Amino acid sequence: MINPSNNLTSSSSDDNVVAGNAQNFGFRQMLLLQHFQILELILAFFVFIVIHSLRQKRRYGLPVWPFLGMLPSLVAGLQSDMYEWISDILCRQNGTFKFLGPWFSSLNCVVTADPRNLEHLLKTKFTIFPKGPYFRDTVRDLLGDGIFSADDETWQKQRKTASIEFHSAKFRQLTTESLLELVHARLLPVLENAVNKSMSIDLQDVLLRLTFDNVCMIAFGVDPGCLRPGLPEIPFAKAFEDATEATVLRFVTPTCVWKTMRYLDLGAEKKLKKSIKGVDEFADEVIRTRKKELSLQSEDKKQRSDLLTIFMRLKDEQGKPFSDKFLRDICVNFILAGRDTSSVALSWFFWLLEKNPMVEEKILEEICRILNERESEMKNPLVFKPEEIKKMDYLQAALSEALRLYPSVPVDHKESHVKGA
List, for residues 229-254, the tens digit of each pLDDT value. 888 989 999 999 999 999 989 988 88
Q: Confidence band (pLDDT; 50, 70, 90) for 148?
A: confident
Average pLDDT score over residue span 387-393 = 90
Indicate whether 49 pLDDT > 70. no
Q: How many domains does the chain have?
A: 2
* Residue 10 within any structural domain of the chain: no
Give the Cα separation of 420 and 282 in Å (integer): 45
pLDDT of 6: 46
Residues in the chain: 421
Residues 159 and 89 in one domain: no
Q: Can you name the residues that pair with 321 across neighbouring β-strands?
A: 315
pLDDT of 304: 73
Residues 374 and 240 in one domain: yes
Over the range 73-104, which residues count as b (16 or more CB within 10 Å of their CB) and which as e?
bbeebeeeeeeebbeebbeebeeebbbbbbee
Q: Which of 44-53, 260-269, 283-292 shows the lowest per-residue confidence on average (mean pLDDT)?
A: 44-53
If one compares 15 and 367, the residue with the highest pLDDT of the two is 367
Residues 318 and 245 in one domain: yes
Q: Can you name the residues that pair with 97 across neighbouring β-strands?
A: 111
Q: Which of 25-34, 95-104, 175-184 shows the lowest per-residue confidence on average (mean pLDDT)?
A: 25-34
Phi, psi (5° rounding) for residue 35?
-65, -40
Rounded to 5 degrees, what angle do the CA atoms 110, 114, 115 make?
130
- Three-class SS of residue 267? helix
Residues 319 and 273 in one domain: yes
Q: Which residues contact 346 (CB under 8 A, 6 or more apart)?
A: 207, 211
Whether the model pTM is above 0.85 = no
Indicate whether 180 pLDDT > 60. yes
Average pLDDT score over residue span 22-41 = 61
Indicate whether 345 pLDDT > 90. yes
Q: Which residues contact 304 (CB under 8 A, 6 or more apart)?
A: 221, 290
In single-letter form, the type of residue at position 320 comes to K
Give the Cα separation of 110 and 97 in Å (integer): 6
Give the Cα separation of 116 and 128 in Å (integer): 16
- Three-class SS of residue 305? coil
Residues 307 and 238 in one domain: yes
HSE of 194 in the Cβ direction (CA atoms, 13 Å)?
14
Give the Cα separation of 89 and 355 in Å (integer): 26
Give the Cα separation of 129 and 412 in Å (integer): 11
pLDDT in tens, 106-141: 778 899 999 999 999 988 988 889 888 889 899 999
Average pLDDT score over residue span 339-366 = 94
Indicate whether 18 pLDDT > 80. no
pLDDT of 105: 73
Q: What Å distances lie between residue 129 and 92, 145, 151, CA to CA?
A: 26, 18, 10
Residues 241 and 361 in one domain: yes
Give the Cα separation of 197 and 135 in Å (integer): 47
Write out the H or E segment, with its range, that includes residue 343.
helix 324-355
HSE of 53 in the Cβ direction (CA atoms, 13 Å)?
18
If one compares 1 and 282, the residue with the highest pLDDT of the two is 282
Give the Cα separation of 298 and 306 in Å (integer): 17
Domain of residue 334: give its range.
141-405
Indicate whether 5 pLDDT > 50. no
Pairing of strands 96-99, 109-112: antiparallel
* Residue 132 within any structural domain of the chain: no
CATH code of the domain covering residue 212:
1.10.630.10
pLDDT of 230: 84
- Please say whether the beta carbons of 226 and 209 come within 8 A: yes
* Residue 288 within any structural domain of the chain: yes
pLDDT of 9: 46
Residues 203 and 308 in one domain: yes
> Crossing angle, helix 393-405 and helix 357-372, to 10 degrees?
150
* Residue 1 within any structural domain of the chain: no
Give the Cα separation of 149 and 131 in Å (integer): 7
Residues 273 and 163 in one domain: yes
If one compares 34 and 338, the residue with the highest pLDDT of the two is 338
Give the Cα separation of 324 and 4 in Å (integer): 110
* Residue 289 within any structural domain of the chain: yes
Give the Cα separation of 375 and 152 in Å (integer): 52
pLDDT of 330: 85
pLDDT of 15: 52
Average pLDDT score over residue span 86-112 = 87
Give the Cα separation of 205 and 201 in Å (integer): 8
If one compares 153 and 325, the residue with the highest pLDDT of the two is 325
Q: Which of 38-52, 61-75, 80-94, 172-186 shows the lowest per-residue confidence on average (mean pLDDT)?
A: 38-52
* Residue 11 within any structural domain of the chain: no
**DSSP notation for 189-222:** HHHHHHHHTT----HHHHHHHHHHHHHHHHHTS-
Q: Which residues contact 418 (CB under 8 A, 6 or more apart)?
A: 128
* Residue 260 within any structural domain of the chain: yes
Mean pLDDT of the chain: 82
pLDDT of 117: 93
Residues 174 and 105 in one domain: no
Write out the H or E segment, with its range, that includes residue 174.
helix 169-182
* Residue 31 within any structural domain of the chain: yes
Over the range 24-61, which residues count as b (16 or more CB within 10 Å of their CB) and which as e?
eeeeeeeeeeeeeeeeeeeeeeeeeeeeebeebeeebb
Q: Can you name the residues that pair with 110 across neighbouring β-strands?
A: 98
Q: Name the DSSP letter for residue 65.
A: B
Residues 108 and 147 in one domain: no
Closest CA to 190 of 231, 232, 233, 223: 231
Residues 328 and 383 in one domain: yes
Residues 44 and 152 in one domain: no
Task: Classify the C-alpha dihedral 289-292-296-302 as positive or negative.
Answer: positive
3-state helix, strand, coil in the chain (%, to 5): 70, 5, 30
